[in-house]
Structure 1
């Protein structure tokens, strides 16, 4: 059959599919021989999902998968450095590349690659031939280099985001029509492919020039007409480089191919061939699923490796039920709601989500609840959507019609959400639980897909719903901005029409259920069941309770501090101006750079794209080892940040109803397990400076109560002593010695009774710095001493404690071999960057070395927090905050000692019985009317 009008050719960018599959999944191996097959499994799933979705007016009649072949193409002959800075292919991916070619052939899809040409050139040639034959073309890729082909019957489709890219989409990306994309790319260059372009000209500027002057040759011929002198001179000086860049980015659509669109007609796979390949790969569930689709008996597949279901969920998996927003139900009456609740009880589980008027759980209002019983079977219960025109003069807060009264719906939902026999499944359940708790509903028991992802994939990617849906379901969720807008015109969810709210809200519950079905069986396979069940899941309600309790903050104290900090800043400014010999705006990086590098002639000045000197903290810290002025500027910036970030901003976070600040703890924020907090962030209040410590004076106890702080003493050093087996450190901790004085004595041969504060301070900086892989540069900045002297301290430290170096080397080797490190409690922290080269290599190694130590410390305090509510039950006390290694409580005056005794017992025994440390854990306690006094 000759390709022509009415035919539709789909060209899949195979390399993009491979790398997407590789990065979307943790490493998977074949049980029979240990061969890596994760990318192959993901690739096959992506192909199958794409084929399953091939229906409707945009369905393909012709199809091919196009690959790059080799790394040398005609572009390397034009420019030797083309793509020279690309990282080498990961070793575990290399043997999977030929298997993906075999996979395409097994699906009976043409697999195309050609020596000397990139896949993009083959795609360009086939697209041109198909277009000229009168057919349509869809390029399945999001690669910006292919956007020059769009138009005239050719479009692109981003399969990961389920988004079509047409001419308007190209204009949005590049600011020009597709025909002029190559001109913009020639000017802007491409750092990924090492296309040089014109220095200092980015995409936006390039688009302006191209739109004004036309193609590259016309632009270069008229360069003298450009008003900006620097831009004009750039085009003159780099004309040949710009022309070369255009040759590199221009796709060749005249590649000599031995076939054409006629040869790419869609064909059914041969069942025996396809199932034979999948069986060989040991993709058990995918084999069964495809056999069912082909209507044949599935072959016997060897027992799959435990991880295989990461890429191959079974026939009940979410991938088998297509997302269909039109199928979601809007529940508008009690009879329908009662039916859904009854069905949820019969199943013993239900996924749910709430829609609210904002992100602050303490102040937002509930708008609706969504439920999902099975993949694709979801519904939304609107409760408080406003009627059209409810904002006008007469509309008030009138509710839209067709909603169950809030009290009636919540009474029915309460029975379900509080039913211990029904598992409630959510994504970031802590948020929903707090919203419902304010309405008197206790949600339990729960499973949380965000926390499951965090337990399994920490360090690999984020754990938000949109990210997880795209990576593990191949689905792009409806963006909230499509409903509520953004900026000044943004509305709250209760103003969204119900018919638009249903697909968005129900989709959240649907996605959550599908993720749960995928993740739940994998906890055991990933060996993180203990982490999830013993730490992550039970910690969430503890954090929710702490967040709702909040902590009292005294506004007057903050106001006085803001004034004092303003005076301190003024005094520092005066000192800085004296040192500079002139007045200038200390807060202006541009003016500061001119003072430091032009007027004072200090070394290390580097100008940015705007021509101004860069003066970030690390530059100033380097200079501070040599000169007083940058030291004072660092001090000024520190005080300025305290004022703007804390004493000014904290006042805005005081809840007008409770008079307290209710931070939100982010359980999945750090790969190591350390908690973060937001709105406001209380984790970063500085404690090393006197000004930073003073911030805590504003955190006060209610009348008749006191604050109690319990803080682990040097917990990370204790863990280091244990894991590295450092006998001197272990003995010092067991004997209760001053660990920093002991270290100083060992390093500097100074007897303990002759120890000076300065020597101890240096030893303390090294002790803590080594845990984080501090360099000589970093220690020099911290101690404000010459780099050579700082590096000498570090070298001497490793000589005296050789076990630490051995621990570091072993940890890095383990990370390189396995792609992860682990804490003493089994928390898995993936290290995808451990094989990086260049500047990232050092960071990746330091992160891998620190992660087991910091992660173990985080696990210990999490275990303590999980046990704490039961331990202090019956005491007139509440746990309020967790900051790093510290827990803060509020307790009635007179009950402090009882609280300290109970809390200390929990904290100092938190590692047991799972881990028996070689050194004791010690929790220091303090009390006071405010946090500073207690700490």
Structure 2
């Protein structure tokens, strides 16, 4: 549900969307002029008071590509701009960085800029981007967040990247940051007061802020990539694609562009006369349904799979390699549930579902004398559900290390656990995960290709076996209907305005999101806590091991050979004890020369 962004009718009331708690009630409303007066200074000594709020002025690109222009400060109703050249020579600024407790906007971004341009990284006390996002988790991009914070921008943030409008020029970025910094200076205290009122102090100061420093160091580290291996995979896949095309052309009786939906539709629906829906769609899910009708479909699906891997990972990753490494960016403010996402390149969607996608992991390697260590939590969301619902039957299974899908299958099919077969376990697994995602009877019947009656029976049996889960789901929906939001164990909120929608389908979506967000969000909070604790444990003991990546529930480290055993023991202990729950936490850890072997 993380990625199901729900689009409202444009006219919908914005406030409803962000469940606005007007931050301005406590403050006198500052009327912000469209263009804020900006003065250029050549030393921060020219400011009357020693500043604590500062925002870098830079192009908004991936951190390795960013250009830093200077630094923006605020005094009274004006913005003050210290250009890069002047900053580098300003003794007052250089000393200030060493002692300031800085408030900024997008701390991680600022750390990269300080580092790349040779400045001391100051102590960062507050990041108003992280704080604002925690208050308005629906606002997953800059424009939405500034709108939620009631800060009018000089121009829409998303337009800044448009080359046709001038791209990230110093002038445009200066005006943009000036338009942000003055209202932020006024709103800082009310933003932080709201964090406290909503019980998010621990989440903000204990998790998100410290995590941004760790993510900064992970991004800086990067991960080694074996370009020869990538090329080897590319050639192998290219041959497979060529062979598939031959077969596809022979079925069609002529060559055509398989990648063109239009040409593909002509071949399938006009020439081969396969039955078509209203839309003549050639989307993968539609093709899946035509599998039985013609052998060409299998070949096309296979071709599309390779083609996607090729464009996304093989060609796609190539352009991100700098000096033999890939440096991804981790985003803390992109998913409403609180999971991290990764971009430029996105490493979180490297498929583990099929062998072909997994193959790509062989190109992510440890240097000579080092190993990659992969640690991931087993069934973290089901454990979270068992704990939050206080479901004794499930807690008991986890405590005795009984396979939870087998346990559920034995309940669903009324057989003893050792009589459960693969097929029954697979159904139980689908039902277990379906429950986490708030799946309906209809959804379950679709997924399992069974009748709604059967799906209903499965769900009834499930809730009878795990009565507290049923109660928990009902209470969560009730809470959501009353408050318009749900929250995780650490009080991370997700506003769900859909829960009050008049449209039945929209309301149902809201219910599913309400059931899923506390579980997925609490699991995300746990992973973040585990990252902080393992990072601190490794560093405080002086190891040379580095944390490199976080991919969903998996953490990846690079360790010198002689540290591998000790690190595995340390990570195991730290992850298993990261949070005290009613269920045991269990991390599975393995290592290897590359990511494929380490998984």
Please give the secondary structure, in 2, of the residue aligned with 1:360: coil
Report if the CA contact (8 A) 1:653-1:680 is conserved: yes
Q: After superposition, what is the alpha-carbon deviation per residue over 1:320-369, rounded to whole angstroms, capped at 9, x for unaligned?
A: 253374632111x34xx2232x712xxxx522122235613224342211
**CA deviation map 1:582-621 (0-9, x unaligned):** 76543232343345555566556122xxxxx223344334
The verdict on how the C-alpha distance between 1:23 and 1:843 changes in structure 2, with shifts beyond 3 A counting, is closer
Look up the match of 2:326.
Answer: 661
Q: Is the 8 A contact 2:36 2:79 kept in 1?
A: no
Instruction: Mark the CA change 1:424 to 1:933 in structure 2 (over 3 Å): closer, same or farther.
Output: same
Shift of 1:469: 3.6
2:81 paired with 1:380: yes
Residues 790 and 510 of structure 1, relative CA distance in 2, 3 Å threshold:
farther
Contact 1:706 1:892 in 2 (8 A): yes
* 1:350 alignment partner, SS class: coil
Q: How many residues align?
A: 584
Aligned to 2:321, the other structure's residue is in SS state: coil
**In structure 2, do the counterparts of structure 1 residues 630 and 831 end up closer, same or farther at CA, with 3 Å as the change threshold?**
farther
Is 1:544 aligned with 2:246?
A: no
* Cα distance in 2 between the residues matched to 1:326 and 1:822: 38
Q: Secondary structure at the match of 1:911?
A: coil
Shift in CA distance, 20/890, structure 1 to aligned 2, threshold 3 Å:
same
Q: Normalised by the size of structure 2, how large is the TM-score?
A: 0.88
Partner of 2:40: 330
Q: Which of residues 330, 334, 358 in structure 2 aligns to 1:693? A: 358
Aligned match for 1:889, one of 545, 549, 557: 557
Residue in structure 1 matched with residue 199 of structure 2 by the alignment: 527
Seen in structure 2, the aligned counterparts of structure 1 residues 692 and 670 have a Cα distance that, compared at 3 Å, is same
Check conservation: 1:663, 1:677, Cα contact below 8 A: yes
Q: How many Å separate the matches in 1 of 2:181 and 2:402?
A: 55
* In structure 2, C-alpha distance between the alignment counterparts of 1:880 and 1:805, rounded to whole Å: 39
The answer to whether structure 1 residue 343 and structure 2 residue 49 are counterparts is yes
Matches within 5 A, 1:613-632: 613-623=280-290, 630=297, 632=299
- Aligned positions of 1:15-414 closer than 5 A: 22-23=15-16, 26=19, 310-315=23-28, 319-320=29-30, 322-323=32-33, 325=35, 327-331=37-41, 333-334=42-43, 337-340=44-47, 343-344=49-50, 349-357=51-59, 359-374=61-76, 376-383=77-84, 404=86, 407-409=88-90, 411-414=91-94
Task: Tell whether 2:568 aligns with 1:900.
Answer: yes
Name the larger-Rg structure.
Answer: 1
Output the CA distance in 1 between the equivalents of 2:107 and 2:303: 41
- State the 1:746 CA deviation: 2.6
Q: Distance in 1 between matches of 2:39 and 2:414?
A: 76
Unaligned runs of 5+ in 1: 1-17, 29-308, 385-403, 608-612
CA contact (8 A) 1:380 1:505 kept: no
Aligned to 1:430: 108
SS in 2 for 1:418: helix
For residues 481 and 596 of structure 1, what CA distance do their matches in structure 2 show?
Answer: 40
Q: Aligned with 1:362: secondary structure?
A: coil
- Cα distance, 1:654 vs. partner? 0.8
Q: Is the 8 A contact 2:398 2:404 kept in 1?
A: yes
The Cα of 1:899 is off from its aligned counterpart by 1.0
**Structure-1 separation of matches of 2:302 and 2:414:** 33
1: CA distance between counterparts of 2:271 and 2:472? 47
SS in 1 for 2:335: coil
| Distance in 1 (alpha carbons) for counterparts of 2:465 and 2:270 | 44
Structure number with higher relative contact order (C-alpha < 8 Å, ≥ 6 residues apart):
2
| Contact 1:330/1:379, CA 8 A, preserved across alignment | yes
- Residues 426 and 509 in structure 1, CA contact (< 8 A), matched pair in contact too: no
* Cα distance, 1:870 vs structure 2: 1.8
1:453–1:463 CA contact under 8 A, matched in 2: no
- Alignment CA distance shift 1:724-1:471 (3 Å): closer
CA distance in 1, matches of 2:258, 2:526: 43
Which of the numbers 162, 181, 184 marks the counterpart of 1:509?
A: 181
Give distance in 2, aligned partners of 1:866 and 1:435: 23
Partners of 2:388 and 2:66 lie apart in 1 by 46
Give the Cα–Cα distance (whole angstroms) in 2 for the partners of residues 605 and 598 of structure 1.
13
Q: 1:705 aligns with which of 345, 348, 370?
A: 370
What is the match of residue 568 of structure 1? 240
Q: TM-score, normalised by structure 1?
A: 0.58
What is the CA–CA distance in structure 2 between the aligned matches of 1:324 and 1:790, rounded to whole Å? Answer: 61
Q: Secondary structure at the match of 2:499?
A: coil
Shift in Å at residue 562 of structure 1? Answer: 1.8
Q: Counterparts of 1:434 and 1:513 in 2: how far apart (Å)? A: 23
For residues 867 and 675 of structure 1, the distance between their equivalents in structure 2, rounded to whole angstroms, comes to 17
Mark the CA change 1:835 to 1:473 in structure 2 (over 3 Å): closer, same or farther. closer
CA separation in 2, counterparts of 1:412 and 1:621?
66
Do the aligned partners of residues 692 and 485 (structure 1) sit closer, same or farther apart at CA in structure 2, a change above 3 Å counting? closer
CA deviations over 1:156-215 (Å, ceiling 9, x no partner): xxxxxxxxxxxxxxxxxxxxxxxxxxxxxxxxxxxxxxxxxxxxxxxxxxxxxxxxxxxx
Deviations 1:722-742 (A, max 9, x none): 223333322221111222222
Match of 1:882, SS?
strand
1:763 corresponding residue in structure 2: 428
Task: Measure the CA separation in 1 of the matches of 2:243 and 2:465.
Answer: 44
User: Which residue of the other structure, out of 821, 824, 838, is the alignment partner of 2:489?
Assistant: 824
Residue 416 (structure 1) aligns with:
96
Contact 2:140 2:335 in 1 (8 A): no
Task: Structure 2: give runs of 5+ residues left out of the alignment.
Answer: 1-10
Going from structure 1 to structure 2, the CA distance change for 1:820 and 1:320 (only over 3 Å counts) comes to same
Greater mean deviation of Cα atoms: 629-638 or 544-553: 629-638
Q: Is the 8 A contact 1:454 1:463 kept in 2?
A: no
Flag the 1:765–1:562 CA change in 2: closer, same or farther, 3 A: farther
Could you say what secondary structure the match of 2:568 adopts?
Answer: helix
Determine the C-alpha separation between the residues in 1 that align with 2:255 and 2:452: 34
Answer yes or no: is 1:447 the counterpart of 2:115.
no
Distance 1:471 1:769, change over 3 A: closer
1:928 aligns with 2:588: no
What is the CA deviation profile of residues 708-731 of structure 1, one whole-angstrom value per residue up to 9, with x for unaligned ones?
Answer: 011000000111222233333222
